[in-house]
Amino acid sequence: MYLKERTVDHEIELISDGDSLAVIGEATAVEQFLESVGLPSRDLDPPRLSKVTAYGSVGLQAASAHASSASRAVDSARWVRLTEESADKISKLGLTPTKTPGVSHAMIGKPGASRSWIQLDRTPGQLPTSPTLLAGAPALMAQLAMQQAMSEIADYLAVIDAKLDDVLRAQKDSVLARMIGIGLQIEEAMTIRTHVGRVNEVTWSKVQDAAGTIADTQAYALLQLDALAEKLERKSTIADLMKTAKDADAASKEWLAVLARCFQLQEGIAILELDRVLETAPDDVNGHRLGLKAARQERLDTISRSTERLMARMQSAAGTANSKVLFNPMQSPAVVKASTNVTASVGDFHERLGIIPSRDGIETRRWASAAADVRDRARGKGADALGAGKRLGAGTLDRAASSTDKVASRIAERARRRRTAEEPDIDEV
């Protein structure tokens, strides 16, 4: 009897923190896997991953002693940002929850000449993965996600051409003024981290108090957006509404830029924090990562509530203006235009920060897509009303001119008759 033993060419590990995926293994196998599932990826820095894995509970000195040997254990590591589509692909591979909260894992292989990847028949307890890898890898994954978010916010600020420093300098509030210096300190710390590979005590001392200033600035910016929404709610006349809507259109862009900068710096602080925890208290890194994730979501929820409130007030103002367009053909479309601009700005802001809008926010977005049509119709109605006024005025002038001509003719006729009556008869002379 002949039995052919199935052999596995390569094995790779998949680690998911719910938001992203780490693919770890032999370089060729990792590349083949990512190509087969069609997922874009970034380097997860295998030497750093090995060093983090070596930290464990043995401390920094032991980690340094084992770093060189550990680095050989991780040949390739790639990071994948999970979207709805990619998450669906990965779910079919059957990742298994681990004892590390919020982390799932799978060991998969590519059998023989088959092109399909399968999950190897191992229970979670038998997986050849250390607990430190299941905690350390998600920490590095979170840092990469934060770095990408920082980069996207930088692109957002560049796209809207926000002169953020000018905005901050124009404010009299001292908290906002300190934001410029805080930003420089965090950027310096990130640069040192890149060159040194860690956040030492000196670097951390420069930024450890920055979080409070950033939080104060964020709160101040949110208050300004709330104030804009309240002003819109108090206006009743179309003239006042138009002025307030235009002011809100201009000011909201500035405060959204300030909020984006705050969020960007908060991501930087979180990256530096995770480095410090990895180095000083590695056993706490997963709990700290989850805490940062929860705090981040709370910030996003707070920002979302404030910005969606402003969009709702702008939408209401546009509805009011549109209902009175016949008598305000110039002012009403201006209100609708400002409302559309604010909704578009907030929508772009939400997309850059990864904010998922509430149901009301979704409806407001849908309204925004139709607002341009409403604005155009409002302009059309205004033009019709204005045209009717012009036609009415022209008709009035024509009728007035006609009446004047008739009156003038009658007066001229009377004058002629009078002269005729007053002239002597030639026969009488």
Report the domain count for the chain: 2
At 359, the pLDDT band (50, 70, 90 cuts) reads low
Q: 113 and 164 in one domain? A: no
| C-alpha to C-alpha distance for 361 and 215, rounded to whole angstroms | 24
Q: Please compute the mean of the pLDDT values over residues 333-355 and round it to a whole number.
A: 89
Give domain status of residue 259, yes or no. Answer: yes
Residue 428 pLDDT greater than 60, yes or no: no
Give domain status of residue 428, yes or no. Answer: no
Give the distance from CA 123 to its chain's centroid. Answer: 40
Tokens found for residue 176: 């906002």
Give residue-wise pLDDT tens across range 232-273.
888 778 888 888 889 998 889 889 999 999 999 999 999 999
Look up residue 30 and give its DSSP letter.
H
Residue 358 pLDDT greater than 90, yes or no: no
The pLDDT of residue 125 is 43
Looking at per-residue pLDDT, the higher value among 108 and 276 belongs to 276
The 3-state secondary structure of 267-326 reads HHHHHHHHHHHHHHCHHHHHHHHHHHHHHHHHHHHHHHHHHHHHHHHHHHHHHHHHHCCC
The pLDDT of residue 197 is 86
Q: 378 and 244 in one domain? A: yes
Give domain status of residue 142, yes or no. Answer: no
Q: Please compute the mean of the pLDDT values over residues 18-46 and round it to a whole number.
A: 88
Give domain status of residue 409, yes or no. Answer: no
Residue 383 pLDDT greater than 80, yes or no: no
Q: 206 and 86 in one domain? A: no
Give domain status of residue 304, yes or no. Answer: yes
Which residues, other chains included, contact 7 with Cβ-Cβ below 8 Å and sequence gap of 6+? Answer: 111, 112
Give domain status of residue 406, yes or no. Answer: no
The pLDDT of residue 35 is 86
Q: 256 and 308 in one domain? A: yes
pTM listed for this prediction: 0.74
Q: 170 and 129 in one domain? A: no
Tokens found for residue 397: 């002038």
Look up residue 161 and give its DSSP letter.
T
- Can you give the residue range of the structural domain that contains 233? 160-383
Residue 389 pLDDT greater than 50, yes or no: no
| C-alpha to C-alpha distance for 282 and 60, rounded to whole angstroms | 9
Residue 200 pLDDT greater than 60, yes or no: yes
The pLDDT of residue 385 is 45
Residue 9 pLDDT greater than 80, yes or no: no
Looking at per-residue pLDDT, the higher value among 2 and 406 belongs to 406
Q: Which helix (H) or strand (E) holds 189?
A: helix 174-196
| C-alpha to C-alpha distance for 255 and 133, rounded to whole angstroms | 41
CB atoms within 10 A of CB 409: 10
Q: 176 and 119 in one domain? A: no
Q: 222 and 123 in one domain? A: no
Q: 95 and 168 in one domain? A: no
Give domain status of residue 147, yes or no. Answer: no
> Exposed, middle or buried: residue 89 (CB in 10 Å: 0-12, 13-18, 19+)?
middle
Give domain status of residue 423, yes or no. Answer: no
Residue 390 pLDDT greater than 80, yes or no: no
Alpha helices in 94-130 (DSSP H): none
Residue 296 pLDDT greater than 90, yes or no: yes
**Mean pLDDT score of the chain:** 75
Q: 252 and 166 in one domain? A: yes
Tokens found for residue 146: 């934060």
Contact 140, 48 (CB under 8 A): yes
Q: 111 and 173 in one domain? A: no
Q: Please compute the mean of the pLDDT values over residues 187-199 and round it to a whole number.
A: 92
| C-alpha to C-alpha distance for 404 and 406, rounded to whole angstroms | 5
Give residue-wise pLDDT tens across range 10-22.
788 899 998 899 9
Q: 223 and 78 in one domain? A: no
Q: 200 and 337 in one domain? A: yes
